[in-house]
Amino acid sequence: MNDNNNEETVIDLSRLLGAVRKSIVSIIIWGVAGLLVSLFATFILMTPKYSSTIDILVNQKADNTQMQYTAQQADLQAINTYKDVLQKSVILAPVVREVRERDNYQGSVGSLQQSMTITNQTSSQVLSVTVTDTNAYTAADLANTIGKVFAKKIKTMMKIDNVTVVTKATANTNPVSPNKVKNAAIGLLLGLLIGIAIAVIRELRDTTVKSADFLTKDLGLTNLGAIYHISSDNQDYGLVRIIEKNAAGSSENGEVQHRRRV
């Protein structure tokens, strides 16, 4: 039973691979079509976005080494608090108003929250604030304004007396999205998969008999004959060979050849 199942699996796989080989040109066309669609969507339909990052160092001043170490540990433990404060409207609302007046920024506090990310390396007091926008210069302005407003507000909110901008944000005119190479690869892959799927479905839905062995071995039918078609110039001939077998399946066979003009 297992041998028959394995044989059927091999036959099915070979049939599917044959379908893929026969439709290789169609599959390549589908792949190219997917690539072209992805490139069109990437360059025409999608709006490029740019990002800019500002690095902020938050620490407290101390008079001696022991107090400085204690203050540093307190600042490290407060990093998550700083991250949370940076995303609150108390910081972002003044930022939106200021950048709107200066750059005609159309975003809101909510959209700015979604377009900014805050990262921090382990055991580091430096916070990196990255802002993404459709305009590279607006993104840089937003990031720098966030740093400025945060440095002003945190002094009164948490009694932090030392906020330093380690690296100011600068306009980066290289878009961070869409990813052209990634989108092109996805489009090409999807196109190829669609082409392969169509070839396989077409093969599976093809119920025509392609060999006499299918009729005799798989369906258990008796082979009564074969018809050959011969073309010569403008004349078509059919050669008919009939093999007759008796009901008992004995060795008594007869073969009749008949040539006729079609």
Alpha helix stretches (DSSP H) within 115-248:
136-158, 180-204, 212-213
Give per-residue pLDDT as tens, 6-46.
444 444 677 778 788 888 999 999 999 999 999 999 899 88
pLDDT band at 213 (very low <50, low <70, confident <90, very high): low
pTM of the predicted model as reported, rounded to 2 decimal places: 0.62
Amino acid at position 152, single letter: K
Sheet holding 162-167, edge to edge: 116-119, 126-133, 50-59, 162-167
**Cβ atoms of residues 50 and 127 within 8 Å:** no
Mean pLDDT of 171-191: 92
pLDDT band at 5 (very low <50, low <70, confident <90, very high): very low
**Cβ atoms of residues 83 and 127 within 8 Å:** yes
- Say whether 117 sits in a helix, a strand or coil: strand
Average pLDDT of the chain is: 77
Closest CA to 149 of 106, 171, 124, 116: 116
189 pLDDT above the threshold of 70: yes
> Which residues have C-beta within 8 Å of that of residue 169, sequence separation ≥ 6?
52, 53, 54, 131, 139, 140, 141, 143, 144, 147
Bridge partners (DSSP) of residue 165 are 56
All structural domains of the chain = 2-45+179-204 (no CATH), 50-167 (3.30.70.1130), 212-261 (no CATH)
Region for residue 233 given its phi and psi (left: phi exceeds 0; alpha: psi -120 to 50; beta: otherwise)? left
